[in-house]
Structure formats: structure tokens, C-alpha cells
Amino acid sequence: MPNRSTAPPPRGGKDSTRLFEAFGVVPVERTRGLENVQAESCPSCGGAKFSFDRWTSQFQYSSLNKCGLKGNGLTLMR
Ligand SMILES: [Zn+2]
């Protein structure tokens, strides 16, 4: 069984990395196949160590009492 962190995209899965980049998120880890993408900062408050799931585009940012932003790629577009 493949390790969860290197699992292939789900059927119909689409890499949401570019969507996040469009909102100012700068990925620091681009390892191919990795689900969880680490980014430099939160698109809302600028806090460090933001991360998101590239296949579901879901994210939750609650690190170190920051903004608590959470949702997915569609949330960002609102
Ligand atoms: Zn934030």
C-alpha cells in the first residue's frame, strides 16, 4: 500500500496549487505527489507555515493564534 503522503491524486483530482498561488500563497514544498503542500504564509493574515491539501484544496490555518482561516479553494474565491 502506498504511503498516504505519497498517494496518487484521487480520481478526477486536480492540483489546486496554482489556485492558491493566484491568491498569493507561495508554496515552499512542491514535491510531486505530496498531498499536503507547505506554503510561506497565510493569504489572509500573512502568518507563517500555512499549508493546504493540493487535491481537495482544503485548508485550516489556526497556527499560533493566527486568523483561523479555513475552507477550500472555493472559499478563497468568494
Ligand atoms: Zn491567516
How do the domains of the chain map onto residue ranges? 12-77
Per-residue pLDDT, 7: 60
Number of residues that this document lists for the chain: 78
Per-residue pLDDT, 20: 93
- The residue to which cell 498517494 is assigned: 7
- Which residue type sits at 31? T
Q: Where are the alpha helices (DSSP H) in the chain?
A: 17-22, 73-77
| Dihedral (CA of 74, 49, 30, 35) sign | negative
Per-residue pLDDT, 58: 93
Per-residue pLDDT, 75: 87
Strand duo 48-53 + 70-71: pairing: unpaired
Per-residue pLDDT, 61: 84
Per-residue pLDDT tens digits for 22-66: 999 999 866 565 688 989 999 988 888 888 998 899 998 876 667
Q: Which residue has the higher pLDDT, 13 or 4?
A: 13
Q: How far is the CA of 73 from the centre of ligand 1 (A)?
A: 15
Q: How far is the CA of 8 from the centre of ligand 1 (A)?
A: 28
